[in-house]
Amino acid sequence: MRTVPALVVCEHCDGVYRRRAPGMREMARRAQCSAVLYLASQLDVDRWLVLTVAAAIVFVIANVCPVIRISLQGLHSETTLWQSAAVLAHGAVAPIALATAVMIVVAPLLQIALLGWVLAFARAGLSGSASPTIAARSLSSFATARRICRASRR
Contacts with Zn ion by CB under 5 A lie at 10, 12-13, 30, 33, 35
Minimum CB separation of residue 17 from Zn ion in Å reads: 9
Question: Between residues 9 and 50, which has the closer beta carbon with respect to Zn ion?
Answer: 9
Question: Between residues 10 and 120, which has the closer beta carbon with respect to Zn ion?
Answer: 10
Would you say 119 and 45 are in contact if contact means Cβ atoms under 8 Å apart?
yes
Question: Between residues 35 and 114, which has the closer beta carbon with respect to Zn ion?
Answer: 35
The CA distance from 52 to 111, in Å, is 10
The CA distance from 118 to 124, in Å, is 10
Minimum CB separation of residue 9 from Zn ion in Å reads: 9
154 HSE (CA, 13 A, CB side): 5
Minimum CB separation of residue 92 from Zn ion in Å reads: 58
Q: Which residue is at the shortest CB distance from Zn ion?
A: 10
Minimum CB separation of residue 30 from Zn ion in Å reads: 4
> Which residues in 3-38 are b (16+ Cβ under 10 Å) and which e?
eeeeebebeeeeeeeeeeeeeeeeeeebeeeeeebe
Question: Between residues 35 and 110, which has the closer beta carbon with respect to Zn ion?
Answer: 35
